[in-house]
Structure 1
């Protein structure tokens, strides 16, 4: 029943608006005598899909007039093929801001000039998760003044719901988005995830010139991924719009702000109430830019409300390779942390997805969150994560006797990694032997079975390695500055660094581990190998030349 869906903040879809209904319609729509919501007979698949959109809108007040209803521009054959393409279970497994991911994919493939010129790119899921995890939203007003497709709202909803609350009851969502189509995506995304909010778009939602919701000083949480390095912002209009507690950034001779990064940073701070928290993505260059940017940064540090700074490597965005920094403010910081800032340099800590994309795995997200917990003195949360690692390894072990033997003691993460790596090596050798000696008709299935098992073992090793990474540094829960990773810096130290907020300036460089290899001895071995390969190459060339002569060539 529709009422059951509403109770769970879920969007109810009538049968005629459900994907399975649309994708399974016969090719001859005219012969089906289908009647639309407004009572007329539908003669094409485009009309049926338009009708589905109207039915969806009827279930959500915030979607009225938002969904596209122009599908009659497509032929029935093309539209049916599109429906089949998107009838894919893989989409259900992606989670988070799926609509934003799909939109960005098409921007990158077919409208790169838009993605580049207007800064239209969406926040990667792992960056959104990191922001939400560190801010830990519970209840109150959340504003995203550059909300795009609404990824921050979706992830916050998931976080709050996972904590046992109902996001729509606990949180009030507000968004501003200058691009109207993106705002429509946001409303659709929120509706799909059972969230309601107030999203304003168009000129009135241009954050440089308008506080569209009159929320200055009223927000419990601010989250955003604003466009970086925006220029040509009208200085007088921006100044008149307020929300600039530290003054204006530099203004050029055209009476414009040539780089709006510090307008955004000022807005995020100004929107917070007396205990509010903000988390946002910003261009890496903003952490130590000079001129009036530096003056604003000095005043900002002086408030004691800069909480955490995280440097992020290249290739985290789906369509951009630029590095960035995550900034976090907390106006409700406890007194003992007021004069301190936690710096984390995560530029060397990530998972490679492919040649052009990096991300943080769920365990890596938890590990960095654990560093923040220890900085805040929340040792019990850190210890809870250690228990989660031990439980995860235990669950793997009970599934397979050989894995259980390899793990032996899930309390000792370092030993677990060693045992699992030895087990993996043995399994790879065994797989190679079995596949090579298998009957031809069994070879392919055996290869697939072994690949699945080895991937599973590698997954277990990944969990154990992340557990060891964390425990090696912080043991049972004692924060320590780790060279190359993290440091708690005082305001005095930040002043000494010229009010730079670049993490690398504070954490330093991790010590190079001795791999136990004698350099001179290894170079001699390599030289010997090279001479041997060169001799083989010469012999091969002589053989080829001889054969060609015998062939009369």
Structure 2
């Protein structure tokens, strides 16, 4: 995006967040996010529906041999009949489904919400199923009814739209939010007198993502359950390059990895002059999430962006109720909760997923790793965020599992991350990258070389900047630096070790370190600039200087004692 578009989005974020944040006095962040994100979703589906209607009206009036939508004016007795026929035709559901646009019934359209919400509540009239006029009970009922109508008409959305009446919000506050969204240009936006090249899907997708991040900050530890910092997600996606195939996240939260994958596909398509919509058809998205409200957030997140998805039949525990047992994915990416203690069930004792050893009952880290490896295709690659302890722990079989993963040549790259990246934990973290085909024998990407028994270590602890007093973040340059080193190493494109940052090691190197995978053990220290002074001479000079300083210290100490003695004090 250019600077104008970025400025437009920033001002939009600020405006909408200030409006939404007024609910904080009545609800905590864990609840008011459902109200706000529900309204964002309603605005999106309605805008997308209206955009499709505008396109259809244009098609109805265009005469051409290959335009199957054309409606000749001469076929109707009057202009009024013609206009009525167009309006009737616009209500045909198939026109929207064929364009992958959600059907929005009249009761759920934003224009209806806006019209009804501005009226005094005691004068709001609604037609029930029998066609009788009834008075509305509240604005929240109006919104819930819209959500219900959309679910009824779109099987993909059944059960994922959270109702808001349960939060008992004042009508005035909800009307204020509806008015704020109504006053905002999501379709054909203009900023600073310039028409922007942004579609409603792009804008509302951005707003949805921004709000998820803000809610995660507001919720603190709880927010981390559904939100992984954007820069970390982007780093993993940039390193794995998932531009085609099956993408899977077994601990998906609100679906951040899928959103970043979609953005990556779009950029990849631009770079190679592909049609982005055609490129997206080459990706299949699979996810799983145990928390029911987070599962709904993820589904809404995908729907706003038009990403087709399979999140299983329900929210469910990944270990105990795998929703994709037969899936073998080309890319697996996840940020599972660190060091889970209460994950074990005796039904998992002889699970087929524990190919490299049974994980300890008191820590799920290596259960997540093995679950993901189990779901990899023969040419698949994966990236997983884990606590730093996973790189060195030898307790309760963890060391043996790590050793087997290394010896069977699944581990490809380890990245150590700086602290303070997460809203919900200060536990130091790392990224494991594993691959089923380091030989590149089943050629998915001809650019990669044979990397068997080679391992890349990257120490990124010194990268990033402090976004505020408590949170660190990566710049785009930081992400590019790490991803470019990884790709250069994979492809043999002039890769070189950089002291203190990256090191290409072999199996013997790892054995010498007792199968510990902490990058700091391999990359060494940053090389100091050579000042031209021989080491022996420098050491002699510095030693003499230190002796002089010790002597001066003794002289000053004696003088202080004398002065204190003169004042009647003794040390």
Bin for the TM-score computed over the shorter chain = 0.5 to 0.7
Is 1:77 the counterpart of 2:172 in the alignment?
Answer: yes
1:107 to 210, 219, 242: 219
Greater CA drift, 343-352 or 236-245: 236-245
> CA RMSD, aligned part only?
3.3
In 2, Cα distance between equivalents of 1:354 and 1:262: 33
Summarize the alignment of residues 197-216 of structure 1 with structure 2, pairs less than 5 Å apart.
197-200=309-312, 205-215=316-326
Q: 1:507 aligns with which of 523, 527, 548?
A: 523
Indicate whether 1:324 and 2:416 are aligned. Answer: no
Aligned match of 2:382:
278
Note the 1:106-505 alignment, pairs <5 A: 106-108=218-220, 114=222, 120-164=225-269, 165-166=276-277, 169-200=281-312, 205-215=316-326, 218-234=328-344, 236-250=346-360, 257-291=361-395, 292-334=397-439, 336-377=450-491, 379=493, 478-505=494-521
Partner of 1:412: none
- Pair 127,57 (structure 1): closer, same or farther in 2 beyond 3 Å: same
User: Does the C-alpha gap of structure 1 residues 515 and 6 become closer, same or farther in structure 2, counting only changes over 3 Å?
Assistant: farther
- Unaligned 5+ runs, structure 2: 1-51, 54-93, 187-202, 270-275, 441-449, 533-541, 550-571
Counterparts of 2:367 and 2:262 in 1: how far apart (Å)? Answer: 28
SS in 2 for 1:199: coil
Distance 1:4 1:194, change over 3 A: farther
Query: Is 1:57–2:142 an aligned residue pair?
Result: no
- With over 3 angstroms needed to count, the CA separation of the structure-2 counterparts of 1:512 and 1:215, relative to structure 1, is farther
Q: Distance in 1 between matches of 2:300 and 2:107?
A: 18
Assess if the C-alpha contact under 8 Å between 2:391 and 2:518 holds in 1.
yes
Q: CA deviation at 1:233?
A: 3.1
Inter-partner Cα distance in structure 2 for 1:310 and 1:37: 59
Report the alpha carbon displacement of residue 489 of structure 1 after superposing the two structures with TM. 0.9
Does the residue aligned with 1:277 lie in a helix, a strand or coil? strand
In 2, distance between residues paired with 1:8 and 1:323? 45
CA contact (8 A) 1:36 1:51 kept: no
Q: Which residue of 1 aligns with 2:30?
A: none
Other structure's SS at 1:327 match:
strand
- Cα pair distance change 1:481/1:18, threshold 3 Å: farther
Contact 1:60–1:191, Cα closer than 8 Å, also in 2: no
Partner of 1:541: none
Question: In the superposition, relative to structure 1, how do residues 96 and 34 fare at CA in structure 2: closer, same or farther (>3 Å)?
Answer: closer
Q: 1:106 to 1:355 in 2, by over 3 A?
A: closer
What is the SS of the residue equivalent to 2:213?
helix
> Is the 2:118–2:175 contact (alpha carbons within 8 Å) kept by the matching residues of 1?
no
1:30/1:124 Cα in 2 relative to 1: closer, same or farther (>3 Å)?
same
TM-score normalised according to structure 1 size: 0.66
Is the counterpart of residue 31 in structure 1 residue 123 in structure 2?
yes
* Distance in 2 separating the partners of 1:129 and 1:342: 19
Q: 1:515 to 1:50 in 2, by over 3 A?
A: farther
Change (3 A) 1:147 1:121: closer
Conserved in 2, the CA contact under 8 Å of 1:99 and 1:189?
no
For 2:236 and 2:97, the matched residues in 1 are separated by 29
Tell which deviates more after alignment, 123-132 or 52-61.
52-61
Q: How many residues matched?
A: 406
Partner deviation per Cα, 1:396-422 (whole Å, 9 max, x = no partner): xxxxxxxxxxxxxxxxxxxxxxxxxxx
1:321 shift after superposition: 2.6
- Give CA-to-partner distance per residue, 1:244-274, whole Å, 9 cap, x none: 1101033xxxxxx011111111111111111
SS in 2 for 1:221: strand
Distance 1:19 1:342, change over 3 A: farther
SS of alignment partner, residue 376 of structure 1: helix
SS of 2:266's equivalent? helix
Shift in Å at residue 486 of structure 1? 0.7
Quote how far apart the aligned CAs of 1:18 are. Answer: 5.9
The answer to which of 86-95 and 35-44 deviates more is 86-95
Bigger mean CA deviation after superposition, 5-14 or 273-282: 5-14
Q: How far does residue 190 in structure 1 lie from its aligned partner after superposition?
A: 0.8
1:378-397 deviation per Cα after TM superposition (whole angstroms, max 9, x unaligned)? 64xxxxxxxxxxxxxxxxxx
Question: Any idea what SS the aligned residue of 1:321 has?
Answer: coil
